[in-house]
């Protein structure tokens, strides 16, 4: 007796372990960063990195967002916890409605209903690296660049030459300290 043929089941694209397609790095990294931020109460990590744009440079120096907590199963009506430096807390408490408005404008909907303040010292923002001054392109390089027909490539190379001429040479590495870490050997007895 012949067996009836079983229907052919095609695997769903989502169920397939490998798709063979190239994926953007941001597609992979975004998931990793999102998990870390959600773990610490941030649905959107940009609020931390763009805090000075949201509340202004003056208030960003003395405060930083610590977490956002939403009611179970909702993405609105949340509580924003701010870490505020010392005596600036009463001032920021008076500005709480303004902070709520600006954070909600940043999100695009009524995400925050309340702000809770916690005393502490917010971490200082990292200083931006100093950019070297641009110097005019040396004549010997300028003559060689004029022969390049593509104007976009010529502009990029001129910019690169100007930045290289603005530096004082190759980067240097400081020598190790005069007092190296002492190494003690265990004597055998």
For 152-165, the pLDDT digits (tens) are 888 888 888 777 77
pTM: 0.48
Q: Give the pair of three-digit tokens for residue 25.
A: 């790095």
Per-range mean pLDDT, top range of 107-116, 163-172, 180-189: 107-116
Strand partners, 80: 68, 115
Q: Give the pair of three-digit tokens for residue 31.
A: 């998931």
The arithmetic mean of pLDDT across residues 50-75, rounded, is 89
| Predicted pLDDT of residue 46 | 78
For 130-150, the pLDDT digits (tens) are 776 666 666 766 677 777 888
Instruction: Provide the pLDDT confidence category of residue 176 given band limits of 50, 70 and 90.
Output: low
How far is it, in rounded angstroms, from Cα 176 to Cα 189? 34
């Amino acid at each position: 007796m012949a067996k009836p043929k079983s229907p052919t089941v095609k695997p769903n694209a989502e169920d397939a372990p490998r798709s063979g397609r190239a994926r953007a790095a941001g597609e992979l990294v975004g998931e990793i960063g999102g998990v870390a931020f959600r773990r610490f109460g941030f649905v959107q990590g940009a609020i931390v990195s763009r805090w000075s744009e949201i509340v202004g440079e003056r208030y960003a120096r003395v405060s930083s967002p610590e977490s956002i907590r939403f009611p179970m199963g909702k993405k609105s009506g949340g509580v924003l916890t701010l870490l505020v430096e010392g005596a600036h807390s009463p001032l920021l408490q008076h500005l709480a409605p303004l902070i709520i408005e600006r954070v909600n404008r940043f999100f695009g909907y009524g995400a925050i209903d309340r702000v809770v303040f916690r005393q502490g010292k917010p971490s200082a923002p990292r200083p931006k690296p100093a950019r070297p001054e641009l110097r005019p392109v040396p004549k010997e390089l300028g003559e060689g660049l004029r022969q390049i027909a593509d104007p976009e490539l010529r502009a990029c190379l001129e910019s690169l030459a100007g930045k290289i001429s603005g530096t004082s040479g190759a980067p240097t590495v400081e020598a190790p300290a005069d007092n190296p870490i002492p190494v003690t050997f265990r004597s055998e007895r």
